[in-house]
């Protein structure tokens, strides 16, 4: 890779505390990299009002005019994104959840294919694995390809603990940088193929109400972008998606 690598870290901590300090340490570990930390708490990000407008009518129709798109643009502009959250009550922080909700139209209409990401969580004892699992699963649906997560216990603030965390975090971060530099073509995972078929089906089923999904999917056949999927794999994926759709239809009347 010739140009300077750009990383954006989305930090869901409500203050410049443990999670922020780890991100700052990563920034300082490699000055060659253009590293930007976005503290959600310092941005204008309003609560999702649950109107479905972004999902049904397109993200531009969201009633909130705030910094949501500034964050999305930073993610588009970066080569890699770090989703970082403290573990609060065994999952992501409320602030990070707000960001997840405000961007959930991208689970329907993912755009981050070919982009790498890493989940980072801090905790005092238990649950950082649940936090990184949540972040990885959620943003994989937006198209990101995740490198292994990093889960850090920040409780004692001893030299040992801080050295250990530094090693764990920088090792994981180097994997992210390495993945970006490899410029390897990323193949869709089995789950991503299944999700594609489910969402494409929903987009047709719900088209009177949700034209945004319908428009997005209507010229897409087997996946979000041109990729060769082996015949039998494609058959199997469609069969599994069909079973999920049947279950969904049995539980709903006419709408998703
Ligand atoms: C409201 C709240 C809930 C927490 N819940 C957990 C938890 O479930 N498991 C855990 O190990 N630590 C928990 N912690 C500790 C934090 O995860 C830990 O201190 C983290 O590093 C804080 O990061 P921050 O300084 O960026 O907020 C909690 C802390 C707070 C304030």
Whose Cα sits closest to atom 28 in ligand 1? 88
Whose Cα sits closest to atom 4 in ligand 1? 88
Convert the pLDDT of each residue in 203-253 to its tens digit. Answer: 998 888 889 999 999 999 999 999 999 999 999 999 999 999 999 888 775
Nearest-angstrom CA–CA distance, 50 and 1: 42
What b/e sequence results for 181-190 when a residue is b if at least 16 CB atoms lie within 10 Å of its CB, and e otherwise?
eeeeebebee
pLDDT reading at 185 higher than 90: no
Answer left, alpha or beta for residue 183, where phi above 0 means left and psi between -120 and 50 means alpha: left
Beta strand pairing call for 34-39 and 116-123: unpaired
Domains of the chain: 6-182 (3.40.50.360), 190-251 (no CATH)
- Whole-number pLDDT of residue 88: 98
- Cα of 8 vs centre of ligand 1, distance in Å, is 23
pLDDT band with cut points at 50, 70 and 90 for residue 187: confident
Convert the pLDDT of each residue in 33-45 to its tens digit. Answer: 999 999 999 999 9
In ligand 1, the atom with minimum distance to the C-alpha of 17 is 25
Nearest-angstrom CA–CA distance, 23 and 11: 8
Alpha helices in the chain (DSSP H): 18-29, 53-57, 68-77, 94-102, 105-108, 128-140, 159-182, 190-205, 211-217, 231-251
More confident residue, 62 or 191: 62
Residues contacting 230, CB < 8 A, separation 6+: none
- Cα of 88 vs centre of ligand 1, distance in Å, is 5
127 lines ligand 1 (CB under 6 A): yes
- Cα of 132 vs centre of ligand 1, distance in Å, is 14
- Whole-number pLDDT of residue 256: 45
Residue of 256, 164, 238, 137 whose CA lies nearest to 202: 256
Bridge partner list, 241: none
Mean pLDDT of 131-154: 97
Give the chain's mean pLDDT. 94
pLDDT reading at 254 higher than 60: no
More confident residue, 250 or 50: 50
- Whole-number pLDDT of residue 66: 98
Convert the pLDDT of each residue in 86-110 to its tens digit. Answer: 999 999 999 999 999 999 999 999 9
Whole-structure pTM value? 0.94
């Amino acid at each position: 890779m010739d140009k300077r690598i750009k990383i954006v870290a989305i930090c869901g901590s409500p203050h410049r505390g443990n999670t922020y300090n780890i991100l700052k340490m990563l920034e300082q570990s490699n000055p060659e990299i253009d590293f930007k930390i976005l503290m959600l708490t310092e941005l204008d990000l309003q609560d999702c009002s649950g109107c479905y407008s972004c999902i049904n009518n397109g993200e531009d129709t969201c009633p909130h005019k705030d910094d949501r798109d500034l964050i999305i643009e930073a993610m588009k502009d970066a080569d890699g994104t770090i989703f970082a959250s403290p573990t609060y009550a065994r999952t992501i922080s409320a602030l990070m959840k707000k960001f997840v909700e405000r961007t959930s139209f991208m689970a329907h209409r993912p755009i981050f294919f070919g982009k790498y990401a890493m989940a980072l969580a801090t905790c005092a004892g238990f649950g950082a694995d649940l936090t990184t699992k949540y972040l990885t699963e959620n943003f994989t649906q937006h198209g990101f390809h995740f490198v292994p997560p990093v889960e850090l216990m920040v409780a004692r603030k001893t030299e040992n603990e801080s050295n250990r965390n530094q090693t764990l975090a920088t090792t994981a971060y180097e994997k992210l940088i390495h993945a970006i530099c490899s410029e390897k073509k990323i193949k869709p995972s089995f789950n991503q193929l299944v999700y594609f078929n489910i969402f494409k089906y929903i987009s047709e089923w719900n088209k009177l109400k949700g034209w945004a999904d319908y428009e997005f999917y209507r010229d897409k056949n087997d996946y979000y972008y041109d990729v060769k999927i082996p015949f039998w794999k494609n058959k199997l994926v469609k069969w599994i998606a069909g079973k999920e759709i049947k279950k969904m239809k049995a539980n709903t009347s006419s709408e998703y």
